[in-house]
Each structure stands twice: as structure tokens, then as C-alpha cells.
Structure 1
């Protein structure tokens, strides 16, 4: 059999269709609307309300996210990605290493990173490869900010990146769905007080040991 005939007889390679641009836009609109509503009201908000805010039909939402957990996972991933970008922007945009840490902390608050905590209690695959990759990317970016500030002598040496993330998460509350809506106006004020306590030279000795990212992961596993 000749090469030309065997080539002609071979089955054509199957092409995987790419999502249409409008389908991708709808998916992005759903994730954006869900992120806003989960932050405001918690992740148990009715999904038809999410669809309404996104400007799509319920069928479109369920076609993209058949289960609530699928949407929660995507929102968590999106929120982590946004916070990672804020960390990278801070590192690139500030010469002073502590100024970079300060910029990131306030930016993470604006992204409402504290809303991650109640979302992480949701029923979804927390070890999904996309989530694991984005979590590692976020941890690397924030760890870099902390390491550079400490190496420059601008951040006290007895704190860890876990201390930073716990404080930012706690200070960006109240949690979604609470009645204390006016508390947001105090967030950046209280974050600045916290940041003043991180700057070197330290004015006191902290009790206990610095919190690491592994400490936070261990706590998350215990509470799940």
C-alpha cells in the first residue's frame, strides 16, 4: 500500500471545538455576579438571583455550573487569582518592601479576602487541580512579599506570612450576611494599625510562634 493511499484512508484528527466568545463572556459574568453576591450574602444565595444579576437565564448558569459546589469552587479560584494579582502588582509597583506589603494588604481587603473563610466551608472539591495551582501561586506571591520585607529589615522577624493572612481575613469581616454593614468604613483604619505593629524594629516580643502557611492548611483540614 502506498503512502499516499494510507494517508488518504487515515481518519481525520478530531478537532475539539473551542468555546464561543459569547459563552465565555456568559461564564465570566456568572462568576463575577456570584463573587459579588457570595461576598454580600454568603454562598447559599439563591442561584436564580445570581443568574439575574449576571443577566443570563437559569439554563445558562446550570449549563456552566451544574452543582452549587462547582460555582463556589470557581468563585474561590477567581478570588484567589485576583488577590494573587494584587500581590504581584504590589511587588512590582513599590521600591520599598514594606510599602509593597502595605499596598497588598489594603488591596486584599478591597477584594474582600475575608469572604474566603465561609466559602471554604462549602461542599466542593478543595483539592481540585485548578484550586491547588492557584493556591500555590497565591502563597508564593505573598511569601515573596514577606521574605523581601524581612530581608530588607523592614518587617519584624518574629511574624510569618500566616500571621498576615489570618489578620487580613479577620479584619476584613464582618462575615457575609451580617447586619453590621457600616463596619466596612473601619477596615482600612484597623489594617493600618495592624501594619504599624508589623514594621521593624519591633516594640514588643510576641507570644507563641509565627504562623506559617502550613499552619493555616492544617487548621483548614481540621475544620473541614
Structure 2
């Protein structure tokens, strides 16, 4: 005999397996606050400061991220994922490949991509594998965008993905001894100066060679 199911039971069970909307919002607030704090103070910044910046209690933070390493991984993954999405949108929506590159660059500094420098140099051990997919996606998307700009004669031929990413990381980190709010107002101005220097034709020969992703990874512990 088939057992009768109380109306709404299946829907209630399905809802119970999904994260609650407020839990998802709290997680997003934690990751966003952690990104800002890590940019300002580095990956060893007190987690209590992150909880205060996110406007939540310490218990809520630890419920989502029981270990600092888990939060570091999620911040790095989130920054790379959002930056890759930004690059993909810019490439699809901007007919001029150099304009697409500039749009991506400005959006990337707003994502505080400078947080990646300190986070990735910290090392994640086995957790580093969790980041490989997003890292590859971001690298390939930006390299493809830059290659289209080169073929169109809009990007100088002697700059590469690593050159751009180093500049974005530096420009989205505060200057030593200053607060983020004091330097943010200059970020897009200085970024545009840098981007103007990427346009072809080149006005000078660059010393050395373009940085690669492997160069950047070898430079970290």
C-alpha cells in the first residue's frame, strides 16, 4: 500500500536542504569584508575585525569558516571568479578589444584583486587545488582578451598577462602607512595612466621580459 504524503512535506524537505537566504547573505558579507581587511592588513588580520566589518557576530563567522585557511581559500576563489566573469562580460560586450581590456582592468581593481597577492603567497597546501579551476579560467580569459587587442593593433606586443596582473594587484592595495579610503580615489586615475602606456604603438622599449604566471608563483613561498 502506498503511504500517503502530507501536503507540503516534499517542498519543506527540499527547502531544508538549501542554504537559507540569510545564511547566504551572511557568507557573502563575510567574504566581502575579509577581502577588504586582507587587502588593508594582510592574511593574518584578526578574524574579529572581519566579523565587525561584515556586521555579524564572531559565532556567525566561525559557523561559516571554522578555519582561517578556509576563509582565505574562499576569498581568493571569489576574487578570481568575479574577475573572470568581469573579463568575459567585457570581451563579449565591447567591440573594441582594447576598450574591453580597459573595462576589465577598472572592474578588477574595484574587486580588490590586490588581495590575491598576499593570499596566494601564503600557501594553501592541499587546498590550493580548489583554486586551480578559477585561476586557469581567469588567466586564459585575460590572455585571450590581450591577444585579440594585439591582433587588432591596439595593444603593444611586448606586454603580457603577468604585467597587467602585477599592475592591478599593486594598484588595488593601499600605500604603506595610509588607509584604503585615502588612496582609493586615486586608483582609477593611476590605472588609466598605466593603461595608456599599454596602447600601441609603443613609445619606448621595455627592459626585461613580460612576467608569466609561473614567474609570479615561483616568487612566492
Question: Could you tell me the TM-score, scaled by structure 1's length?
Answer: 0.80
Distance 1:192 1:20, change over 3 A: closer
Distance 1:172 1:53, change over 3 A: closer
Q: Report the counterpart of residue 3 of structure 2 in structure 1.
A: none
Q: Report the counterpart of residue 201 of structure 1 in structure 2.
A: 201
Q: How does 1:203-218 map to 2 (within 5 A)?
A: 203-218=203-218
Separation of aligned partners in 2, 1:199 and 1:116: 26
Q: Report the counterpart of residue 131 of structure 1 in structure 2.
A: 131
Distance 1:162 1:123, change over 3 A: closer
Q: Report the counterpart of residue 9 of structure 1 in structure 2.
A: none
3-state SS of paired residue (1:200): coil
Q: Render the CA deviation track for 1:141-169: whole Å, top value 9, x for unaligned.
A: 11111111011111111111111111222
Separation of aligned partners in 1, 2:33 and 2:190: 28
Q: Report the counterpart of residue 144 of structure 2 in structure 1.
A: 144
- Comparing 48-57 and 188-197, the one that deviates more: 48-57
Distance 1:98 1:126, change over 3 A: farther
Structure 1 unmatched runs, 5+:
1-14
Distance 1:72 1:163, change over 3 A: same
Structure 2 unmatched runs, 5+:
1-12
User: How many residue pairs end up in the alignment?
Assistant: 206
Question: Could you tell me the TM-score, scaled by structure 2's length?
Answer: 0.81
Q: Report the counterpart of residue 74 of structure 1 in structure 2.
A: 74
Q: Report the counterpart of residue 27 of structure 1 in structure 2.
A: 27
3-state SS of paired residue (1:120): helix
RMSD: 2.4
Q: Report the counterpart of residue 116 of structure 2 in structure 1.
A: 116
- Comparing 46-55 and 79-88, the one that deviates more: 46-55
